[in-house]
C-alpha cells in the first residue's frame, strides 16, 4: 500500500494545491495555523456537505414504507440489520459536494445553499446504482459491512434501489427553485446513461479477454462513473443560473474527473488495502472484472499480458488458498504488463483535461477552490 501511495503522489495530475498562490481558497481554505492543503480542504468540504445534505437524505429515506426504509437505512449505514441505530459511514459524499461546489463557483455561497436538495437527489441516484451494482456484481462487502442484498436478499436490495431513484426525482419535483426542472431532466438522462454503461459492463464480463478493447472500456467507464460526476457539476451550474456553455463545461469537467476517479478506483481495487477500502483484496481479479488496468495490461502484447489472459480464461477458483495464489499471480501480471502505470498516467491526463474544461467556465482559482480541492481528492485517495 505504501508503494501505491508513493506512485500516486508522483503521478497525480497537476491540480493547484490548496494553500499555494494558485490554489489558495477564499473564505474556507485556512485554519488557525495557516492554509489547508488540498486533502484537508477536501475533507472539510466533504464534512460540510454531509452536514448539509444528510438531513435531506434521511428525511427522504424515512418517508419510505417500512421494508424499503429498513433496507435503505441499513445501506446508508444509519441502522443495523435488526433496525437498531448504527454510526456507520454513508459514503464520502463526493457527488453532492460537487453539486454544492459547482453552484458556489458560478453563483457564490447563496447558490450553493440553494442547491442542497438537488445535491441530495444526486446522492440518492448514486446509492440507487450502488444497491443494484452490488446485486449484479455479487459484491458481498461495502463500507466495511455486508452489502444489502446479502442481508435482505436480491429482491429487497433491487426494490430499495428503485425507491431511492424515485425519491431523487421527487426531491426535484418538490423543489421550488427554477433550476429544478432542467436539473430533473438532466438527472433522468444521466440515469439512462448509467444503465447503458452498466449493461455494457456486464456484457464485457461475458466476453473473452481478447475480445475487449481499451476504447470501449473507457467509453463504458465514462457512462458508469463520469456521467454522474458530470451531471452533479452541471446541476450545480444550473442552480447558479449559468448559461448553456458554462453548464456544458462543468459537465465536461465532472466527466473527465470521473474517469480519473474510476482509473484510480480500479487501481485501488487491485492494490488497495482492505482495511481502508472495506473490500477484499483482489476481488475484482477473482471476479474476472475487465477493469481499466486489466484491459490495458491485456492489450500490452507482452508475456505478462499473455499470462494474465490465460488466468482470465480459466474458471473461478473456489478454494481460499488457490484464490489467494491466483490473485497474487494476476496482480503481478497486471503490473508487469504495465496496467498500473498506464492507469495512473491516464488518470493524470484525464485530470488535465478536466482542468481545461473547468477553466472555460471558472477562470478564477479562488472561485473554483472547492472544485479544485475535490479534483485533487479523487486522484490522491487511497480508499
The reported pLDDT for the residue numbered 20 is 38
For the record, the C-alpha cell of 149 comes out as 442484498
DSSP type of residue 34: E
Lowest mean pLDDT among 34-38, 125-129, 311-315: 34-38
Average pLDDT over residues 72-100: 93
Assess if residue 198 is contained within a domain.
yes
242-285 residue pLDDT tens: 999 999 999 999 999 999 999 999 999 899 887 777 667 787 88
Q: Which spans in 145-179 are helix H?
A: 148-152, 154-173
- Check which CATH number belongs to the domain holding 358 and give it: 1.10.600.10
DSSP letter assigned to residue 225? I
Q: Is residue 232 part of a domain?
A: yes
Residue 10 within any structural domain of the chain: no
Q: Which residue has the higher pLDDT, 88 or 17?
A: 88
Q: Residue 105 is placed in which grid cell?
A: 463557483
- Inside any domain, residue 32: no
Domain total of the chain: 1
Q: Is 19 inside a domain boundary?
A: no
CA distance 103 to 141: 34
Whole domain around residue 67: which residue ranges?
Answer: 37-379
pTM: 0.87
Query: CB neighbours (10 Å) of residue 140?
Result: 13
Which pLDDT tens digit goes with each residue over 323-371?
788 899 999 999 999 999 999 999 999 999 999 999 999 988 889 999 9
Residue 28 lies inside a defined structural domain of this protein: no
Is residue 8 one of the residues assigned to a domain?
Answer: no
Report pLDDT digits (tens) over 137-184. Answer: 888 989 889 999 999 999 999 999 999 999 999 999 999 999 999 999
Rounded Cα distance between 293 and 218, Å, is: 11
How many residues are there in the chain?
383
Q: Is residue 145 part of a domain?
A: yes
Sign of the C-alpha dihedral computed for residues 359, 41, 234 and 263 taken in this order: positive
Amino acid at each position: 500500500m505504501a508503494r501505491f501511495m508513493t506512485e500516486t503522489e508522483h503521478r497525480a495530475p497537476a491540480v493547484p494545491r490548496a494553500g499555494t498562490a494558485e490554489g489558495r481558497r477564499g473564505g474556507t481554505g485556512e485554519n488557525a495555523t495557516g492554509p489547508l492543503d488540498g486533502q484537508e480542504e477536501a475533507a472539510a468540504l466533504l464534512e460540510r456537505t454531509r452536514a448539509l445534505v444528510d438531513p435531506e437524505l434521511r428525511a427522504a429515506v424515512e418517508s419510505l414504507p417500512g421494508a424499503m426504509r429498513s433496507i435503505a437505512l441499513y445501506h446508508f449505514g444509519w441502522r443495523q440489520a435488526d433496525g437498531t441505530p448504527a454510526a456507520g459511514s454513508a459514503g464520502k459524499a463526493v457527488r453532492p459536494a460537487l453539486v454544492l461546489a459547482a453552484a458556489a463557483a458560478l453563483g457564490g455561497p447563496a447558490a450553493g445553499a440553494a442547491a442542497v436538495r438537488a445535491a441530495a437527489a444526486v446522492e440518492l441516484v448514486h446509492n440507487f446504482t450502488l444497491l443494484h451494482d452490488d446485486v449484479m456484481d455479487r459484491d458481498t462487502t461495502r463500507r466495511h459491512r455486508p452489502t444489502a442484498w446479502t442481508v435482505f436478499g436480491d429482491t429487497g436490495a433491487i426494490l430499495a434501489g428503485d425507491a431511492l431513484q424515485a425519491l431523487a426525482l421527487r426531491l426535484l419535483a418538490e423543489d421550488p427553485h427554477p433550476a429544478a426542472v432542467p436539473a430533473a431532466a438532466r438527472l433522468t438522462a444521466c440515469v439512462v446513461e448509467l444503465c447503458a454503461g452498466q449493461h455494457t459492463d456486464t456484457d464485457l464480463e461475458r466476453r473473452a479477454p481478447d475480445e475487449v478493447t481499451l476504447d470501449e472500456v473507457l467509453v463504458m467507464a465514462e457512462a458508469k462513473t463520469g456521467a454522474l460526476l458530470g451531471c452533479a457539476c452541471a446541476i450545480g451550474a444550473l442552480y447558479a443560473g449559468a448559461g448553456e456553455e458554462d453548464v456544458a463545461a462543468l459537465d465536461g469537467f465532472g466527466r473527465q474527473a470521473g474517469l480519473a476517479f474510476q482509473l484510480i478506483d480500479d487501481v485501488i481495487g487491485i492494490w488497495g488495502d482492505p482495511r481502508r477500502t472495506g473490500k477484499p483484496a483482489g476481488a475484482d481479479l477473482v471476479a474476472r472484472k475487465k477493469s481499466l488496468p486489466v484491459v490495458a495490461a491485456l492489450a500490452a502484447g507482452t508475456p505478462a499480458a499473455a499470462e494474465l489472459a490465460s488466468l482470465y480464461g480459466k474458471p473461478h477458483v473456489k478454494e481460499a488458498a488457490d484464490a489467494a495464489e491466483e490473485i497474487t499471480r494476476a496482480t503481478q501480471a497486471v503490473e508487469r504488463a504495465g496496467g498500473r502505470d498506464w492507469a495512473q498516467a491516464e488518470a493524470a491526463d484525464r485530470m488535465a483535461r478536466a482542468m481545461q474544461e473547468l477553466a472555460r467556465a471558472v477562470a478564477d482559482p479562488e472561485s473554483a477552490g472547492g472544485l479544485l480541492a475535490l479534483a485533487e481528492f479523487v486522484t490522491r485517495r487511497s480508499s
